[in-house]
Chain A
Amino acid sequence: QKEVEQDPGPLSVPEGAIVSLNCTYSNSAFQYFMWYRQYSRKGPELLMYTYSSGNKEDGRFTAQVDKSSKYISLFIRDSQPSDSATYLCAMRGTGGFKTIFGAGTRLFVKA
């Protein structure tokens, strides 16, 4: 079993829809939870970062962490065609920088 599981999709939604992206994990030592966006032929870019449990909002993006369920989510409100990309979840524990990524979910937002 992988330490981090993420549905690869693809996920196709109409413009304006609310998108929900999720990851589950097995390692209870993870404390830092990140979401990256990767456009085709580009390097990943950090989108959201959360330490421990809770919610974090930034514009149209909301990240949630539920450590009791070992489940993290990224919500995108009012999705736009420019949001079409691969979204990668990532996480790591404290005391080091070993980072585990999910496989990535490919998202298509149709105009």
Chain B
Amino acid sequence: EAQVTQNPRYLITVTGKKLTVTCSQNMNHEYMSWYRQDPGLGLRQIYYSMNVEVTDKGDVPEGYKVSRKEKRNFPLILESPSPNQTSLYFCASSRGTDDQETQYFGPGTRLLVL
């Protein structure tokens, strides 16, 4: 079954304690992205990756890091989380060819930073 998986699904942490949210896809997609979703603001792209070792900033990259060492994995790292990073996070992957858009989203990770 084609899918994007994220772990953990729920996380409560404290300010300043480094954390990593993992994302993995089994569709051999080149493109992967991280988004955060906040009430009234919709989805905002944090970072995206067009291939292994190729990443670029989205709309709201401050306070986040990513890496793409393998095609299937795209972890999101919060080096020093702050309360304003409390949000619902989605990972997505896509074939991303010019003539077809097939972006699949993971189930989401709900993060609370105290």
Contact = CB atoms under 8 A, between A and B. Distances in A.
Contacts of A100: 45, 59
Interface residues of B, number: 30
Interface residues on A, range: 20 to 34
B90 A43 contact: yes
A103 B40 CA distance: 6
Interface of A: 6, 8, 32, 34, 41-46, 49, 51, 88, 90, 94, 96-104
Nearest to A86: B42
9 contacts: A34-B103, A43-B107, A51-B98, A88-B43, A97-B33, A99-B48, A100-B45, A103-B41, A103-B42
Nearest to B38: A103
Contact of B33 (A32, A99, A104): A99
Given A98-B58, A100-B59, A6 B102 contact: no
B48 A44 contact: no
Given A43-B107, A44-B105, A97-B48, A102 B42 contact: yes
B99 A51 contact: yes
Nearest to A96: B56
A49 B102 CA distance: 9
